[in-house]
A and B are shown apart, each in its own frame.
Chain A
Amino acid sequence: MNMRLQWRTAWAPRIPDRALARDVALVCLADMIVGVSFGATAVAGGLPWWLPTAMSVLVFAGGSQFAAVGVILAGGSPVAAVAAGAVLNTRLFPYGLAVPDVTAGRWWTRLLGAHVTTDESVAFALRHTDPARRRAAFWTCGISLFIAWNAAVALGMLAGSAVRNTAAFGLDATFPAVLLALALPSLTDRRTRAAALGGASAAVALTPLLPAGLPVLAALGGLAALWRPRRRPERAESRRAGRRLYRAMGRRADKRPDRADGRGADRAPERASGRKPGRRAEPADGGLAAGGGR
């Protein structure tokens, strides 16, 4: 009995509590506006109906759908479109690690549950600690959102193809507005804000110069550049010093002490001084170190 009830709530909760139903409905409504905007933008930009439809069913991740379609509408290559969409979806990986319990059970709940893992369904799951309620919240939100999202995209495509002059209605402004509204809440700390501002400025400045789609990806470079100065100096310095010491010690252990000592003592300062002016060697070294450190 208990098992059956649990299993049932796992994928289709019969009696979701009222608060949950209301909250999920509100989230669905908000997302439907994004979906309508997505569908309308896509067909108004001249894309065939099946493209936004297939994307919404198969990709089912609003931000990345917008990103990919935005790149394509701007005339960018499919590779750039996929790259932009994929970067946005990397966050789904830690989501899966955060709430693995809600899709546990049968193999098909795993497969289906993975597909309805979204910002919203994970957020709903994380609101509860009780396993059954977590599952109910996740699945109610995930399934409802999937239906609402795809219906909204279809609705948007109808609207987009019905309205002849979408520019007169300002429809082209809804796309960046949606992106802003999606991104602003995550700009909580100063460094991310700085990275976003720098990246966006770079992307806009590069738009007249680079092929479409690339400026947005280039914005990610701003992220790395802005990240370095704060963390790197002392760490990289100590790492370099550590490596020098390690090298010297290795030699001392491997070879005859007298000879290695002389070489090690000779070489370490030589290397250090040789590296500092040679700026070319530094980024590669620092980049690797930073990548490994994270």
Chain B
Amino acid sequence: MPLLAIAALAAITYAFRIAGPLLTGRVTVPPAAQRLFASAAAVLLIALAATSALTTGHDFAGLARPAGVLAAGILAARRAPFPVVVLVAAAVTALLRLAGIH
């Protein structure tokens, strides 16, 4: 089943990619729709970030992970380089767990 899911996602993704060049000249996406696409993507990513930072399964994930993600989020908002953001997330979480805070 996951293989079928991957095939489906791959096919849908490729369709989105090829549709633009194929339809060019015939279709224009109104700016409002483009903004909607962009916002939908942002909303989805943030929602996924929030749920994966705060929850495990149906339960609260504990303190260490959200703390690490929060530190990374602050750095990302201040335009820190990408590698720094990712490493800080892991480091803060790992250090908190080392200190016994889970």
Spell out A's residues near B (CB within 8 Å).
29-30, 33-34, 37, 47, 51, 54-55, 58-61, 63-64, 66-68, 70, 72, 74-75, 78-79, 81-82, 84-98, 100, 103-104, 110-111, 113-115, 117, 167-184, 186-187, 191-192, 195-197, 199-204, 207-208, 212, 215-217, 219-220, 222-223, 294
Contact = CB atoms under 8 A, between A and B. Distances in A.
Interface string B75-102: 0110001110110111111110110000
Contact of A78 (B2, B22, B36, B82): B2
B41 A174 contact: no
Given A114-B14, A173-B65, A204 B55 contact: yes
Contacts of B34: 94
A96 B19 contact: yes
B13 A179 contact: no
Chain B contact residues (Cβ within 8 angstroms of A): what range?
A: 35 or more
Interface centre among B47, B57, B94 (most CB of A within 10 A): B47
A111 B57 CA distance: 39
Interface string B12-36: 1110111111111101111011101
Nearest to A89: B13
A67 B18 contact: no
17 contacts: A54-B3, A55-B6, A58-B7, A60-B13, A74-B57, A78-B4, A91-B41, A92-B16, A94-B33, A94-B34, A100-B21, A174-B89, A178-B86, A180-B45, A181-B85, A181-B86, A294-B33
Given A86-B13, A177-B85, A216-B51, A98 B69 contact: no
B51 to A, nearest CB: 5
B89 A200 contact: no
B43 A85 contact: no
Given A87-B41, A170-B92, 13 more contacts: A51-B3, A58-B10, A67-B45, A86-B12, A93-B20, A94-B34, A167-B97, A168-B94, A169-B94, A203-B50, A204-B50, A208-B55, A294-B36
A220 B44 contact: yes
A84 B45 CA distance: 9
A203 B51 contact: yes
Given A114-B17, A173-B89, A186 B47 contact: no
Contacts, number: 287
Interface of B: 1-10, 12-14, 16-25, 27-30, 32-34, 36-55, 57-59, 64-65, 68-69, 72-73, 76-77, 81-83, 85-86, 88-95, 97-98
A74 B55 CA distance: 9
A222 B44 CA distance: 10
A183 B73 CA distance: 10
A114 B21 contact: yes
Interface centre among B17, B53, B54, B97 (most CB of A within 10 A): B17
B17 A200 contact: no
Contacts of A180: 45-46, 49, 69, 72-73, 76, 85
B82 A181 contact: yes
B79 to A, nearest CB: 8
A212 B81 CA distance: 32
